[in-house]
Amino acid sequence: MTDPQASNEAARLAADLLPTRMDELAVEGRTDTSVLDQLWAMAFGLPRWYFVGTGAFPNVQPLAVIVDEKPYAMAFTAKGRADEYARKHGVLAIGDKPSILSFKVESAVRRIVPLQRVGVFGILFDDFRGGWCIPLGRLPDMLQHFKPGGPGGRDVDPGSAPESDQGSPD
């Protein structure tokens, strides 16, 4: 007998891997910077950001990797994308299951920016799907500018990211 809950979770994670408008904008933004405001508005308009967790509970931290000789916290726009990254890179907390951290965007910014103190330079989103980044020090101002209701905020398709996860480690 199959577990319907596990089957539903697998389907949700798989749906997170489908291409999105944000993926298109991330790639397009490499040659046309006029689309970057739209990309960032969508990122800051998401209900949650996701991170692959490393370390032992209760000291689980977002994974940071070296890219172009600088450490970046790896962020994802959907839980399935974080799960995929963790599995591909063997970052598995217990057995074959990764630890996925999930934070509302404002909380994610508050938690990620202090990583500058330990040498993390920036945040890199959706590594396999365009990979777009920003230095951590710019996140607070960007949050104020791009959050919904801010001067650069825009409406985001509510179906673009699930809001069902609550709390920290999954």
Return the domain boundaries, the chain.
4-160
* Reported CATH class of domain 4-160: alpha beta
Q: What is the pLDDT of residues 107-133, one digit of tens each?
A: 999 999 999 999 999 999 998 777 899
d(CA 2, CA 169): 25
The model carries a pTM of 0.84
**168 Cβ contact partners less than 8 Å away, ≥ 6 residues apart:** 60, 101, 102, 103
Q: What percent of the chain is modeled with pLDDT above 90?
A: 67
pLDDT in tens, the chain (170 residues): 566 676 798 899 999 999 999 999 999 999 999 999 999 999 999 999 999 999 887 888 999 999 999 999 999 999 999 999 999 998 887 777 899 999 999 999 999 999 999 999 999 999 877 789 999 999 999 999 998 788 887 654 434 443 433 344 44
**65 with 119: CB under 8 angstroms?**
no
**147 Cβ contact partners less than 8 Å away, ≥ 6 residues apart:** 44, 45, 105, 106, 153
Crossing angle for the helix pair 79-88 and 4-15, to the nearest 10 degrees: 90
